Structure 1
Amino acid sequence: MSKSLAVEQFELGVCYYPEQWPESLWADDYRRMRELGFTVVRMGEFAWNFFEPEEGQFTFDVFDRAIDLAHEHGLKVILGTPTATPPAWLTHKHPEVLNVTLEGVQHQHGLRRHYNYSSPVYRDYCAKITEAMARHYANHPGVAGWQIDNEINCESNVFYSPADHAAFRSWLRERYGTLEELNRAWGTVFWNQSYSDWEQVHLPRPTPADSPNPHQALDEKRFISDNAISFLRVQVEIVRKLAPNQPITTNGLFGHLDSHAMTDELLDFFSYDSYPNFATLWNDADRDDPLLDRKWSNNLAKVRSISPNFCVMEQQSGPGGWVNRMAQPSPKPGQMRLWTYQSVAHGADMLLYFRWRTASFGTEIYWHGINDYHNQPNRRVAEAQTIGREWGRIGKAVAGSRYAADVAIVRDYDNEWDGELDAWHGPLTGESEYGWSKSLQLNHIPYDYLYMRGSTGLDELARYQALIYPHPAIMSEETAELLKKYVAGGGKLIFGARTGYKDTRGHCRMMPFPGPVAELCGVTVEDFTLIPGGGAAPNIRWVDGGEERGAAAVKFNDILRPMNESVETLAVYDGDYYAGKPALTRASYGGGEAYYYGAAFTREVADALVRRLGLKPATAGWAELPSEVEIAIREKGNRRFAFLLNYSGRPVSARLLRETDDLLAGERLAAGDLAIEPYGVKVLSLE
C-alpha cells in the first residue's frame, strides 16, 4: 500500500533560511507569509553549524527563536536534519567521511553532499545530531514534521570511498553468500575476472575501455540504493523513537535510488522538488513541438506512483541558476501559478515554494525566490498572493482527492539501472516514454506510472485498461506470469523492442526473444538491428486498414515472426533488407490483447496505437480541449475535479458541452466556449 500525505486542508508554504538573514527581518517575513496565505515553512536542512558549532556542543537558541516566532505567526515548521552539509570541523577531523570519484580523487569540503553514506564515522555523527535535534524539538508545538537530509543522490549518485568498497563487499556477501555464487552472477569466467577472495572484490573501477563488467555495474546501482536507504534509516529510527507524533519525509527524485522502497520502509509520505524550467535546458527544447515545462507532468506522474498524495517541498518560483551553471529564464507572468496547479493537479496536497527570498551570497545567488534581494513587492509575490487566496477557498474540498487514470506506463529500477550502461536497450526507454507521454497528454488521456516491483500484485495492474511497458529487457519469470494474468483478465499490454531477453542478473537468455513473454505476444524475433545514431530509420507501413501515414521505426528494429495464425500483423517495415516483415503485432490472450512493436515508440506510433486501443480522452462527453491544454482529473467520493492547464503563451478556447462549476471564479459556467488566458488555469467541478 502506497504511503500518502494525509491533510484535511491543502497546505501552501515556502522554504526559509533564518540563519541567512538578520533576525530583525524574521517577524516581517513571517507576517507577509501569512498575508500570502502560507501556513508552513521548511528550515534547518543546511544549518549543522548552528546546531553543533563544535563537536558535541549542541545549541538551539537561533532556531528556537526562529521556530517560536514562526509558531506565534501561525506557521508550521518542517525541520530538516542538516546531514547534507557536514561542517568543516567534522570533515577536517575525519576526511574519511568524504566521497571519492571513480578515479580515486577525494572530494573536499565545500558545496554540499560531499560525504559518503558508508562511513561508520559519518553515520555516528549523523545519529548524534539527529538525536539531539529530535529530543529538543519532539514536543515543540511549532514543529509539524521532519525532512531527513536533503535531495538524496543529488549532485553525485556514485560513491567510491574505501568505506563504500567495504560496504559493497558486505552487501554482496549477504546477497550471494559465497564467491562461487557471486562469480556465477557476474559471469566472471568471461575475460578471466573470477574472484578467489572477497578482498579482491570492489565497486567498478577505471578500466581501459571505460566499460566495467555489466553485471557488477547493475549490482553497483542496487547497492547504492540500498546503502542510501540504510543511511537514512539511522536518522529515521531515531526520530520515530523520540518524536513519534511528527511525520517524516525526504525530498527529491534522483538516480540510483529506489524511492518506492525508501518510502515504504521509512517515510510517511514522499516529497518532490519541482523545477519545470529545467526543460528549457534539456534535449526536449531541441525537438519539434517540444513539451518544455509540460514535460514536468511526466515527472510528477512518477512521483505519484510513490505517494498518490505527496508534498512538493520545493516549487520553482523564479529564474534558476547557480553562479556557474543552470541559467534559466524567468517564469513568464502566470507561469508560477501554472506550475503550482500542475503540481496540485498531479497529486500535491502540500506545496512549498523555493525560496522566500533570493540569497544575496553563496552559490545560489541566481536561484531566485518569491522575493528579490531588495525585498520590495514584485509580480511573483502578487502571483503567490493570488494562489494563496484561491487555495484558501478550495483547498479543503480538493485535499485528499486522487488522480484518476485508466492507462499506465510501466517502469522498473533494474532496467533503468542496467540501461545506463547497456547502449542496446537503455536509450530506447527515454525515447518511448517521451513519445507516449506526449501522445497521451496531447490526446487528453491522463496516465500513471506503475513500477514493477517484487510486491506488485495483479490488483495494481487490473486497475488499468492498458499498460505500456516499452523496453523491459530484464524480465523475471515471475513478472512475465503476472503480466500474463493481467492480459488474460482482459487487459491490453504493449511492449517495444528488446523485451525479455535478459534475466535478473543481466545475463542474456538462451531462448528465442522475447523470452518469457514470447507465448503471451505470440511472436518470436527472427532478426534485429541497431539503427545507428544519425542513421535513417525505415518507416513502418500500416496493413490493418488504418489510414495513418507511415512513421519512422527509430533506434532499434526487432524483425518479428508470428508464431501462429491468430497473431495479427498491424504494420510492416517499409525499408531496408527486412522490408515487408512484421514490425507491429497484436495477439489475443485470454480476454485481453498483447502488442509487440519492434522499435522505440514515437508520438506518431503512439497516436496510432491510442486509436487501436480504444482509449478515450478524459473530456469525453463534457468538453473539447485544444492541444495546448492539459487535462487532469482528481476524484474524492462522488466529486471529480478537472484541472485545465494552458501551457501556451496565448489565450486559447475550450468548449464545454454541459454546464459546470468554475471553482476558482466561484461561478456557474454555461455550455459553450470557455476562454483560458495565457498560462491560465481552470479548476472545474464535475459532480
Structure 2
Amino acid sequence: MAKSLKEETLRLGACYYPEHWEETLWEDDFRRMRELGFSIIRVAEFAWAYMEPEEGAFQFDLFERALDAAHRHGIQVILGTPTATPPAWLTHRYPEVLNVTMEGVTYRHGMRKHTNYNSPVYQRFCARITRKMAEHFKDHPAVVGWQIDNELNCELSVFYSEADHAAFREWLKRKYGSLTELNRAWGAVFWSQTYTDWEQVHLSRPTPADSPNPHLALDEKRFISDSAIGFARIQADILREVVGTKHWITTNGLFGHLDNHRMTEELLDFYTYDSYPQFSTIFPDEGPDPMLDRKWSWNLSVVRSISPNYGIMEQQSGPGGWVNRMKMPSPKPGQMRLWTYQSIAHGADMVLYFRWRTATFGTEIYWHGINDYHNQPNRRVLEAGRIGGELARIGAKIAQSRYEASIAIVGDYDNGWDGELDVWHGPLAAQSTKAWFKVLQREHIAVDSLTLSERTTLADLQRYRVLVYPHPAILTEKAANLLRAYAEAGGTVLFGARTGYKDEFGHCRMMPFPGFASSLCGITVEDFTAVNGIAVAPTLRWADESDAEASTAAAAVTADSFNDILRVESASVKVLAEYASDYYAGKPALTVNELGDGRVYYYGAAYNEEAVRLLLPRLGLRKTAEDLVRAPSEVELAVRRHEESGEAYTFALNYAAHPVTLQMQRSAVDLISGRSLEGVVELEPYGVLILS
C-alpha cells in the first residue's frame, strides 16, 4: 500500500528563511501568514553554516527563537536537514566530500549539491548535524515533520569521485559476486573489455565517441539510485531513533537516477514535490497546441503514483529564475491560484509556496516569492489570501480523498535509465507518453502514472481498465506474466514499437521480438526500421475497408520514429491497420489480440496524437464527470473521491487566458463559492470550480 500524507484538512504555507531576515521582521511575517490562512512553514534546509559555524561547534539559537515565534502565532514547522549545502570549512578541510565530473574535474564550493553521497567523511558529518538537530528540536511544540536534504539528485544526478568509484565496486561485488558474473552481465568480451581485477572497474569515464559500455551505464544508474537512498537512509534512521513517530519524515523533488518509489516505501512517511508549472513554458512540448503549464499535471500524476495524497513543498508563486539562467515571466492574475488547485486536484493535501519573501541576495534573487523585496502588499499576496480563505472553508471536505482514473500510462526505472543512452528506444517513451497524456487531457479522460517494479501486484494493475505500456524494451518474464494475468482477467494492454527485446542486463534476447510479450500480443516482428533521416514515416491504412470512419482516420496517421513490421502468429489476432507506404506497405502495423477476457494491442511505431485518437474510441473509457459537466478542451476535469463514503468533488480548471463556457448536465454546487450551478456556466480566465 502506497504511503500517503494524512491531514484532516488541506494545509497552506510557505518556505521561510529566518537566517535571511532581520529578527524584527519575524513577528510581522508570522502574523501576516496567519491572516492569509497559512498554518505551516519549512525552514533550515540550507542553514548548515549557521548551525555549525565551526567544526563541532553547534548553535541553534536563531532557529529556536524563530520556531518559538512561529508557535506563538499557531504556525507549525517542517525542519529541513541542511545536507544539500555544507559549510565552507567542511569542503575546504575535507575536499574528498566534493563531487567530481566524469572527466575528473572537482566541483568547488560556491553553489549547492556539490558533494557526493558515498564519501564516508561526508556521511559522518551529515549524520552528526542530523542527530544534533533532532536532539535539539525533538520536543519543540511547533515541529511536525522533517524534510531530508533538499531535492536529492537535483543539479547533478551523476557522481564520479574516488569514493563513488570505490563504492561502485563494492556494490557490484554484492550484486554479482564475482568478476566472471560481472563480465557476463556487461558483455565484457565485446571489444576486449573483460576485467581481471576489481581495481580495473570504474563508473563511466570519458571514451571515444562518448559511448560507454551500455550495460555498465545501466548499472551505474541503479548504483546512483541506491547511493542516494543509502544517503537518505542514514538521516531517516537517526530521525526515527530520536523523534520516533512524533514527527513525520519526507523529502522533496522528483529528479533523475533515483527510485523515488522504493525510497518512499522504505524510508519516508509520504512524498513531497516541488511544483513549478512555468518550467513547461520554458521547455514546451513541440508541435501545435502545446500544453504549457497544463503539462505539469503529468508530473503531479507521477508524484501521485508514489503517494496518492502528497505534499507540495515548493509551489510556484511568482516569476522565477536565477541570475545566470531561466527567465520565467510573472504568473498572470489568477494563475497562482490555478496552479495551487492543479496540485490539489491531483492529490496534494499540503501546499507550501516558494517562498514567503523574495531573497535580496544570492543566486535566487529573481526566484520571486509571494512578497517582493519591499515587503509591501502586491497582487500575489492578495491572491494567496483568497486561496487561504477558500481552503479554510473547504479543506476538511477534500483532504484524504483520492484522484480517480481508469487508465494508466506505465513506465519503469530500468527502461528510463537504459533509454538515456540507447537512442533506439529511449526517445520513444517520452514521445508516446506525451501523445497519450495530451489527448487524454483534452478529451477529459483522467489518467494515472503507474511505475512497474518487482513489487507491483496484480491488484495494483486491476485498479485500471486500460494500461498503456508504450515501449518497454526491457521486459522480464515475470512482468510479462503479470500483464498476461491482468489481460486474461479482463484488462486491456497497449504496447508500442521496440517492446520486449532486452533482458534485465540490457542484452538483446535471442528470441523473436517482442520477446516475452509475443504470446500476449499473438504476433512477432518480422522486420523493423528506424524512421529518421532520409526515411519518411509511412501512413496507415485501416484493414477493414468497410469501416469508412476508421479508414479516414487511419489515413491521417503517420507511423512515427520506428516501425516494427508485424507477423500474425495466432488466430485470435485481428489486424486493425496496415502500413500504407514504403517497402512494407500492406504489412500489419496495428493489431489486437483477444486474451482471456481482455485484449492486448501492439502498435509498431511510436504513438502520436493522431494514433491515440484513432485508438481511443475502441477502449471504452468514460469521460471524467460526464454525467455532471461538459467542458471545452481548454479545461482540465479531475475527480477526487473519498473511498469509504463515495463522496466526490469534481475540479474544473481553466488554463485559458479567456473565459470558457461549461454545460452542466445536472445541478451542482460550487464548493468554493457555495453557488448553485445549472445550465450554461461561464468560467473566468484561469478560473477554478469544485463541483459537488
Give TM-score scaled by structure 1 length.
0.99
Residue of structure 1 equivalent to 2:8: 8
Q: Answer whether contact 2:284 2:291 (CA < 8 A) is retained.
A: no
Measured in 2, the distance between the counterparts of 1:86 and 1:287 equals 43
Q: Answer whether contact 1:542 1:550 (CA < 8 A) is retained.
A: no
The equivalences for 1:595-614 within 5 A come to 595-614=601-620
Residue of structure 2 equivalent to 1:678: 685
Measured in 1, the distance between the counterparts of 2:533 and 2:461 equals 35
Q: Answer whether contact 1:654 1:676 (CA < 8 A) is retained.
A: yes
Measured in 1, the distance between the counterparts of 2:609 and 2:243 equals 49
Residue of structure 2 equivalent to 1:665: 673
SS in 2 for 1:329: coil
**Structure 1 residues 417 and 130, CA gap change in structure 2 (3 angstroms):** same
Q: Answer whether contact 2:284 2:292 (CA < 8 A) is retained.
A: no
Measured after TM superposition, the shift of residue 610 of structure 1 is 1.1
Q: Answer whether contact 2:183 2:195 (CA < 8 A) is retained.
A: yes
The equivalences for 1:208-357 within 5 A come to 208-244=208-244, 245-284=246-285, 286-357=286-357
How many percent of aligned residue pairs carry the same amino acid? 63
> Once the two structures are superposed, what CA deviation does each residue of 1:557-605 show, in whole Å capped at 9, x if it has no partner?
1111111232111111111111111110000000100000011111111
Measured after TM superposition, the shift of residue 534 of structure 1 is 7.8
Measured in 1, the distance between the counterparts of 2:334 and 2:466 equals 35
Q: Answer whether contact 2:631 2:663 (CA < 8 A) is retained.
A: yes
SS in 2 for 1:375: coil
Measured in 2, the distance between the counterparts of 1:230 and 1:161 equals 17
Measured in 1, the distance between the counterparts of 2:328 and 2:458 equals 43
Q: Answer whether contact 1:148 1:249 (CA < 8 A) is retained.
A: yes
Residue of structure 2 equivalent to 1:428: 428
Measured after TM superposition, the shift of residue 533 of structure 1 is 5.0
SS in 2 for 1:569: strand
> Once the two structures are superposed, what CA deviation does each residue of 1:145-194 show, in whole Å capped at 9, x if it has no partner?
00000000000000000000000000000000111110000000000001
Measured after TM superposition, the shift of residue 210 of structure 1 is 0.5
Alignment partner for residue 624 of structure 1, among 627, 630, 646? 630
Q: Answer whether contact 1:541 1:550 (CA < 8 A) is retained.
A: no
**Partner amino acid for 1:666?**
G
Q: Answer whether contact 1:338 1:681 (CA < 8 A) is retained.
A: yes
Measured in 2, the distance between the counterparts of 1:198 and 1:665 equals 67
> Once the two structures are superposed, what CA deviation does each residue of 1:267-307 show, in whole Å capped at 9, x if it has no partner?
000000000000111141x4200000000000000000000
Residue of structure 2 equivalent to 1:656: 664
Gaps of 5+ in 2: none
**Partner amino acid for 1:241?**
E
SS in 2 for 1:655: strand
**Partner amino acid for 1:645?**
L
SS in 2 for 1:552: coil
Measured after TM superposition, the shift of residue 426 of structure 1 is 0.1
Measured after TM superposition, the shift of residue 536 of structure 1 is 3.0
Residue of structure 2 equivalent to 1:571: 577
Residue of structure 2 equivalent to 1:501: 501
SS in 2 for 1:276: coil
Measured after TM superposition, the shift of residue 528 of structure 1 is 0.5
> Once the two structures are superposed, what CA deviation does each residue of 1:81-108 show, in whole Å capped at 9, x if it has no partner?
0000000000000000000000000000
Measured after TM superposition, the shift of residue 542 of structure 1 is 2.1
Measured after TM superposition, the shift of residue 264 of structure 1 is 0.3
Alignment partner for residue 556 of structure 1, among 562, 568, 572? 562
Measured in 1, the distance between the counterparts of 2:454 and 2:591 equals 29
Measured in 1, the distance between the counterparts of 2:533 and 2:318 equals 37
Q: Does 1:180 align with 2:186?
A: no
Q: Answer whether contact 2:529 2:563 (CA < 8 A) is retained.
A: yes
User: Number of matched residues?
Assistant: 683
Q: Does 1:476 align with 2:482?
A: no
Residue of structure 2 equivalent to 1:128: 128
Bigger Cα displacement from structure 2, 571-580 vs 487-496: 571-580
Measured after TM superposition, the shift of residue 517 of structure 1 is 1.0
Measured in 1, the distance between the counterparts of 2:625 and 2:594 equals 29
SS in 2 for 1:368: coil
> Once the two structures are superposed, what CA deviation does each residue of 1:352-378 show, in whole Å capped at 9, x if it has no partner?
000001111100011100011111111
Measured after TM superposition, the shift of residue 539 of structure 1 is 1.3
**Partner amino acid for 1:197?**
D
The equivalences for 1:14-25 within 5 A come to 14-25=14-25
Q: Answer whether contact 1:419 1:427 (CA < 8 A) is retained.
A: yes
Bigger Cα displacement from structure 2, 563-572 vs 431-440: 563-572
> Once the two structures are superposed, what CA deviation does each residue of 1:518-541 show, in whole Å capped at 9, x if it has no partner?
011011101111111585311112
**Partner amino acid for 1:678?**
P
Gaps of 5+ in 1: none
Residue of structure 2 equivalent to 1:582: 588
Residue of structure 2 equivalent to 1:394: 394
Alignment partner for residue 599 of structure 2, among 580, 593, 596? 593
Q: Answer whether contact 2:394 2:672 (CA < 8 A) is retained.
A: yes
Q: Does 1:634 align with 2:635?
A: no
Measured in 1, the distance between the counterparts of 2:305 and 2:365 equals 34
SS in 2 for 1:280: helix
Measured in 2, the distance between the counterparts of 1:578 and 1:84 equals 54
The equivalences for 1:469-548 within 5 A come to 469-533=469-533, 536-544=536-544, 545=547, 546=550, 547-548=552-553
Q: Answer whether contact 2:415 2:473 (CA < 8 A) is retained.
A: yes
Measured in 2, the distance between the counterparts of 1:538 and 1:381 equals 53
Measured in 1, the distance between the counterparts of 2:667 and 2:358 equals 44
Measured after TM superposition, the shift of residue 668 of structure 1 is 1.9
Measured in 1, the distance between the counterparts of 2:567 and 2:329 equals 50
Q: Answer whether contact 2:284 2:290 (CA < 8 A) is retained.
A: no
Q: Answer whether contact 2:625 2:650 (CA < 8 A) is retained.
A: no
Measured after TM superposition, the shift of residue 667 of structure 1 is 2.1
Measured in 2, the distance between the counterparts of 1:657 and 1:233 equals 51
SS in 2 for 1:209: helix
Residue of structure 2 equivalent to 1:98: 98
> Once the two structures are superposed, what CA deviation does each residue of 1:209-259 show, in whole Å capped at 9, x if it has no partner?
100000000000000000000001001100101011110000000000000
Measured in 2, the distance between the counterparts of 1:662 and 1:543 equals 47
Measured in 2, the distance between the counterparts of 1:525 and 1:535 equals 19
Residue of structure 1 equivalent to 2:85: 85
Residue of structure 1 equivalent to 2:438: 438
Measured in 2, the distance between the counterparts of 1:116 and 1:611 equals 50
**Partner amino acid for 1:94?**
Y
Measured in 1, the distance between the counterparts of 2:269 and 2:278 equals 29
Measured in 2, the distance between the counterparts of 1:604 and 1:645 equals 25
Residue of structure 1 equivalent to 2:113: 113
Measured in 1, the distance between the counterparts of 2:115 and 2:379 equals 39
Residue of structure 1 equivalent to 2:138: 138
**Structure 1 residues 91 and 296, CA gap change in structure 2 (3 angstroms):** same
Bigger Cα displacement from structure 2, 545-554 vs 512-521: 545-554
